Amino acid sequence: MPLPDVAQLHSAADFLRSRVPAPQVGLVLGSGLGGYADSLAGLSKVSYASVPHMPTSAIQGHAGNFCGGFLGTVPVLCMQGRVHSYEGYSTDRVVFGACLLRELGCTHVLLTNAAGGIAADLAPGDLMLITDHINLSGQNPLVGPHDGRGARFPDMTHAYDPGLRELALGAAVAAGVSLKQGVYASLLGPTYETPAEVRMLARLGADAVGMSTALEVIALGQLGARAAAISCITNLAAGISKQPLSHDEVEATAKEARDRFTRLLTAWIEAIARP
Ligand code: HPA
């Protein structure tokens, strides 16, 4: 399926416009990271289920709300949770929320996710700025007829906007938060990887692995938004860790990182909005 239908995006955007402030920066908050939205001033929450055409997630840790509000003077719109291909959604549904942020006027979209750490320097609880991705999901939201939005063969050299990444590194220093950097491999899931798959991913140049983000970043780039992303390393990838992986561990580690994540995102958004 190609990008979401324009008429569907318009009707969802019309619905949200009267309920949240017109946003400049959009945020997609992944597993266990949705709490950030609660720190916004003048918070208004709109559940995904009430928004026309917006898909809803049944996954724990994905609350399913749009949260509009202000960070200082910056109007921000957060997505508390996302939907994934492994839930059975087609790619146009998976990227619908991110495309809606763009439709509502977000010039910048920051995505977060939970990921398994592969690189030797990553430990559970670390935050990793994504420099690039390896899309092994087998999906791409641009498959299908080209309807004129963006290029037929989009360049992916700067999918993770270099200017936004610079600002993130500066914001991390200013906020006193350690921020690693690395390549994110996006897999379909819902199984976690086998140890052999993790060894393969390491050889391919992946530093972390997860089940989201790449498709949204592809769609956002196509729609002219500047996108960047941070992973919360919630566990060591399979085979590196001696323990079996569990979603409970993923959520618990993401919650522990909440305070650092909040400080980093706040400093980052302030830097983005600074003239
Ligand atoms: N693999 C894939 N997705 C994940 C992981 C992982 O180890 N941790 C959190 N999301």
Q: What is the pLDDT of residues 217-231, one digit of tens each?
A: 999 999 999 999 999
Mean pLDDT of the chain: 94
Q: Mapping DSSP to helix (H, G, I), strand (E, B) and coil, where does residue 208 land? A: strand
Q: Are 27 and 79 in contact (CB under 8 A)?
A: yes
| pLDDT of 1 | 65
Ligand 1 centroid, distance to 14 Cα (angstroms): 35
- For the chain, the straight-line distance linking the first and the last C-alpha, in angstroms and rounded, comes to 38
| pLDDT of 11 | 97
Strands (E), the chain: 25-29, 41-47, 65-71, 74-80, 108-117, 127-135, 180-186, 208-210, 226-236
- Nearest alpha-carbon partner for 37 in 6, 80, 72: 80
Ligand 1 centroid, distance to 232 Cα (angstroms): 10
- Nearest alpha-carbon partner for 147 in 222, 58, 206, 89: 222
Mean pLDDT over residues 100-115, rounded?
Answer: 97
| pLDDT of 61 | 66
| pLDDT of 250 | 82
Q: Which residue has its alpha carbon closest to ligand 1 atom 3?
A: 210
Residue 178: pLDDT band (50, 70, 90) is very high
What is the 8-class DSSP label of residue 245?
P
For 37-91, the pLDDT digits (tens) are 888 999 999 999 999 999 998 777 667 999 999 998 899 999 999 999 999 999 9
247, 252, 270, 271: which is the annotated catalytic residue?
247
What is the 8-class DSSP label of residue 80?
E
Q: Which residue has its alpha carbon closest to ligand 1 atom 2?
A: 210
Q: Which residue has its alpha carbon closest to ligand 1 atom 6?
A: 116
Q: Is 209 in the pocket of ligand 1 (CB under 6 A)?
A: yes
